[in-house]
Structure 1
Amino acid sequence: MSIENQLINKQFHDTFTINNEHTHPVEVLGNAYMQENLKESPDLTMIRFAQGEVYFHHKDYEAAIFKWENIDNEFQPWARKNVADAYFELDLLGTAEEIYLSIDTDSDVLKIEVLLQLFSLYIQQGKLEKAVDAIKKAVFLNPDYPDVTRIARVFFEDHQDWQNAVELAVNEAMRTQEISWFHTLKGYVVEGKTKKNGSQVFY
């Protein structure tokens, strides 16, 4: 698993626990923390990051937040995203949104992951216009990102947002030349979804 996939799935702690399958990750990381702390110049950052993941997976969100708030290296943007995820799980959506929007990163992967989280958050809040904006930004940033165009298509169809659904299908059919998108677009035409106020909608 690539480092980005580990970060997305909160599985970075596997780098510490992969050879300790019969010992609980909390114990493995606790021992690693103590050993690192004995060094003359200990660097506990990555262990704390991994500990946060384990606490998150065990739904100890407050402990996870505490660990991730002490990350100050190159993993800090991911730690901030994880903190927001924890607040999301605690149903503190306003705090989660604020943190998501504050994340500054050059990583397109992290940007899309944040946008997908905001998309889910806005749906939960019933803020559909903001949800549309978030998923469209994610598609624009990288339409090849796993499942992002499928998520957008299903969302637009479920909410009968045919203008955005048709626009997505047209763009993806032209970009990918995949037959499935042409079939989707043909379906919209047959069902009259490409018409607006009696006039044909062109893109």
Structure 2
Amino acid sequence: MTLETTQGDRFAQALLAGDHPAANACAREAFTRGVDYLYEDVVKPALARIGEMWARNQITIAEQHVATALAQSVLGALYPEFPWPPPGPPAIIACVAGELHELGARMVADLLTLDGWDGMFLGADVSDAALLERVAQTRPALVVLSVTMVPGRRGLAPLVASLQRLTPAPKLLVGGAGMLGKEDLDLPPGAGAVLSSARAAVEWARRWKP
């Protein structure tokens, strides 16, 4: 399949080819325009394109996993150069139980941290019990839940209800491809949102930063 020549598509091509130097060069070129641009305008569309190709049986699941691992490696190499600020108010970011795709949530955690939060990323497939325990321990001002696959929505309602019963209840963001078309999730008015991008999440969270 011939890809267009946007930076996101060039990054996708490099990832699918397993071409580490090309992927690194593309990421570094985008990084000169900021981490926000790198993540939202290059990495996100590249991974979306790769996901679409897998869904259409144009690549195998193994090829998708290799591409994602290469993306993580390339981004990890840039971490020492990110303009990390001093830690701010705590925010917890986690993939819901059963959700194994963690790169998108990690990017949200990074962008929140760069915007002045202390972003604690709990990783993939976080059980409700583990998440609630961590929230009770750290009392974050913000909790972000990532749902990339539709089945991850099944346990959201009781988890959201449990988070709302905490005192103080954190502000709550839910995002990921699995939430498309489900923006009507029952969240506290004004204190919760379903958003489709890391950029939007950072902008929304900024108003709640202590």
Q: TM-score, normalised by structure 1?
A: 0.30
Which protein has greater RCO, CA pairs closer than 8 Å, 6+ apart?
Answer: 2
Could you say which structure has the higher helix fraction? 1
Could you say which structure has the higher strand fraction? 2
| Larger Rg over CA atoms | 1
Q: TM-score, normalised by structure 2?
A: 0.30
